[in-house]
Amino acid sequence: MSIERDVIILGSGPAGLTAALYSARANLKPLVIEGVEAGGQLMLTTMVDNWPGFRDGIMGPDLMTEMRAQAERFGAEIIQGDVTSVDLSRRPFLVTVGTSEYLAKALVLATGASAKWLELGVDRKLSGRGVSTCATCDGYFFKGRPVAVIGGGDTAMEEAIYLSKLASSVVVIHRRDSLRASKVMQDKAFATPSISFLWDTEVIDIRDITKGEVDALVLRNTVTGLTSQLAVEGVFIGIGHIPNTKLFRGQIELDENGYIRTHHGSRTSVEGVFAAGDVQDHIYRQAVTAAGSGCVVSRSTRHPTPHPRHRRPPPVQA
């Protein structure tokens, strides 16, 4: 037998849990299906210094524990499980988790995005110990220290520019000899004196796992094959993010990078389906903006159709 709910929220990062908090306080008794990366990307960070209200910072996992407890306090139900399929073509919407089925009058997609890793093994093991995928989250810990940024796109340039204001030096390591980043970002990075570039270079190892901290990168030149070492104390992997939208592909409008397209704050191309957080935002990607969008969503779920003033104009007839 399927369980029917007014609101089902997929994902338990800042966006999902804020949507849960607001929906619970509106007496909608939301059900949160937490997903395989319960708590989202903040579970992978150490100290969070940019969440307002904590002057001494708060550990990412602790912040998520608090958010979760706060949502539960108002009646949100949070269950473990990873959604295996959704059917957005029927009403109520059908959400399947293994052999369990749930029906939702309104569905909130807050499944986030996952940073891409180098997949060296060691990069994930040293996460939070010198390896990071988020300069705005962790850059401060590298104040006055030498760091490297890996990647050649806008994410890597943004990370490098941000870090240039904190670190003693920033080396961008890119596997080719030209950047993929937009011209404006390239120009900005090239014009920053503390940023230097290592071209045609890939990282093949991060030292030193035995010490549990980063002290050097082992590099290989992709043209000559020669290997070398670069002494750094931090490494930021900026090779892109993957929005967790596989389940929704073909059922909802996505942009060219796979992120959910939203309009009027949080509405998606399917009426009754809302999106919040990184799954629909490849620009800001901050815990605080994700939480803000979770609040927007829960307001929208109570007003299923946009106010006439905010509706999209009808398509122009040829």
* Residues labelled as active-site residues: 134, 137-138
54 or 199: CB nearest ligand NDP: 199
Q: Which two tokens stand for residue 194?
A: 């503390």
CB of 269 to ligand NDP, least distance (A): 20
146 or 153: CB nearest ligand NDP: 153
**CA–CA gap between residue 92 and residue 163 (Å, rounded):** 47
Number of residues that bind ligand NDP (CB under 6 A): 19
| β-bridge pairing 131-132 and 146-150 | unpaired
CB of 154 to ligand NDP, least distance (A): 4
Q: Mark the segment that binds ligand NDP (CB under 6 A) among 92-100, 106-114, 153-161, 306-314.
A: 153-161
When asked if residue 118 is in the footprint of ligand NDP (CB under 6 A), the reply is: yes
Which of 149, 155, 154, 156 has the alpha carbon at shortest distance from 181? 154
| β-bridge pairing 216-221 and 201-207 | antiparallel
Residues within window 207-236 making contact with ligand NDP, judged by CB under 6 A: none
| Residue showing tokens 């990307």 | 41
Near ligand NDP by CB under 6 A: residue from 64, 172, 239, 275: 239
When asked if residue 258 is in the footprint of ligand NDP (CB under 6 A), the reply is: no
Which of 136, 104, 142 has the alpha carbon at shortest distance from 232? 142
When asked if residue 282 is in the footprint of ligand NDP (CB under 6 A), the reply is: yes
Contact (CB, 8 A) for 244 and 114? yes
3-state secondary structure of 300: helix
CB of 185 to ligand NDP, least distance (A): 7
Contact (CB, 8 A) for 293 and 278? no
x-or-dash pattern for ligand NDP, window 154-193, by CB under 6 A?
xxx-x----------------xx---x-x-----------
The separation between CA 194 and the C-alpha centre of its own chain, rounded to angstroms, equals 27
When asked if residue 113 is in the footprint of ligand NDP (CB under 6 A), the reply is: no
Contact (CB, 8 A) for 46 and 138? yes
Near ligand NDP by CB under 6 A: residue from 257, 263, 310, 311: 257
Instruction: Respond yes or no on whether the N-terminal peptide bond of residue 62 is cis (omega within 30° of 0).
Output: no
Residue closest to ligand NDP when measured from CB atoms: 153
Residues that bind ligand NDP in the complex, under the rule CB under 6 A: 118, 150-156, 158, 175-176, 180, 182, 239-241, 257, 282-283
